[in-house]
């Protein structure tokens, strides 16, 4: 399935692809959290939904639940499915910088990128900061480096105040003006409004849970609310 990211896409985050029908009224894609699913490749085998899939197999060291062994091999396998329009791989897994030394094979991350492209899937290269929001120069650098390796540079930070959120929005707009395709978000209560506002500044992907009781990141709106807010602001 095609998901070019040339305009904003709202991804419904879930570990259960059977929830896809409940997302259709509001979402443009499903982010399948493979790291939270019991048998993710079996689920992709059985998937007959209408929404394209973003496959994410998030590492434990970046807030997910997937152990290191076989993680990126499973993500590469996911890229072979026609329904999978994109995979999400961590910047640290691609570059080897910032990840635990025993958790990253320096060949696995780049191989996942190449394999996805060979199977006509796009690549979201992501980085998450669960402690805070870096200075503006750090935000610009992360987006630039992620954009060197992926089709979409994704950056999620934790906002502790409005200044953090504003700094992220400024970095978003600057990256877009430089011709990059980015997806940015601020986690936490202080940054929750940025989830709705970032698309105004050019962020191409938003995330919201299908089931509000099973949010995959702090500060997420429910799917219907985020759709309404984004559409109203854009």
Q: Can you spell out the DSSP letters for the chain?
A: -----SS-EEEEEES-GGGHHHHTTT-SEEEEEGGGSSSHHHHHHH---SS-EEEE--BGGGTS-B-STTHHHHHHHHTTSTTEEEEEEEHHHHH--SS-TTT--TTHHHHHHHHHHHTT-EEEEEEE-SS----HHHHHHHHHHHHHHSSEEEEEEE-SSHHHHHHHHHHHHHHHHTT--EEEEEESGGGHHHHHHGGGGT--EEEEESSGGG-SSTTPPPHHHHHHHHHHH-
Give all domains of the chain, ordered by start, each with its CATH number.
Answer: 9-233 (3.20.20.70)
Active-site choice (117, 128, 149, 193) = 128
What global pTM score does this model have?
Answer: 0.95
Residue 99 is predicted with a pLDDT of: 75
Active-site choice (26, 50, 117, 154) = 154
For residue 217, pLDDT beyond 80: no
Q: Is 128 a catalytic residue?
A: yes
Residue 68 is predicted with a pLDDT of: 87
Could you give the percent of the chain with pLDDT greater than 90? 86
Average confidence score pLDDT of the chain: 94
Q: Is 154 a catalytic residue?
A: yes
Across 80-84, 104-108, 149-153, 212-216, least confident range: 212-216
pLDDT, tens only, 80-139: 999 999 999 999 999 988 777 766 776 789 999 999 999 999 999 999 999 999 999 999
Residue 213 is predicted with a pLDDT of: 74
């Amino acid at each position: 399935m095609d998901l070019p990211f040339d305009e904003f896409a709202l991804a419904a985050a879930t570990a259960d692809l059977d929830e896809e029908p409940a997302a259709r009224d509001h979402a443009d894609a499903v982010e399948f959290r493979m790291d939270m699913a019991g048998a993710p490749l079996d689920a992709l085998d059985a998937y007959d939904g209408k929404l394209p899939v973003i496959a994410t197999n998030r590492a434990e060291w970046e807030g997910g639940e997937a152990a290191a062994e076989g993680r990126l091999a499973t993500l590469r396998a996911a890229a072979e499915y026609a329904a999978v329009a994109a995979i999400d791989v961590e910047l640290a897994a691609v570059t080897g910088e910032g990840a635990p030394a025993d958790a990253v094979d320096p060949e696995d991350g780049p191989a996942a990128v190449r394999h996805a492209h060979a199977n006509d899937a796009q690549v979201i290269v992501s980085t998450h900061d669960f402690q805070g929001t870096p200075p503006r120069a750090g935000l610009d650098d992360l987006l630039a480096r992620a954009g060197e390796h992926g089709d979409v540079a994704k950056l999620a930070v934790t906002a502790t105040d409005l200044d953090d959120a504003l700094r992220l929005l400024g970095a978003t707009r600057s990256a877009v003006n430089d011709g990059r395709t980015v997806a940015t978000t601020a986690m936490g209560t202080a940054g929750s409004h940025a989830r709705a506002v970032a698309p105004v500044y050019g962020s191409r992907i938003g995330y919201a849970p299908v089931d509000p009781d099973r949010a995959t990141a702090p500060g997420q709106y429910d799917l219907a609310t985020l759709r309404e807010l984004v559409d109203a602001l854009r």
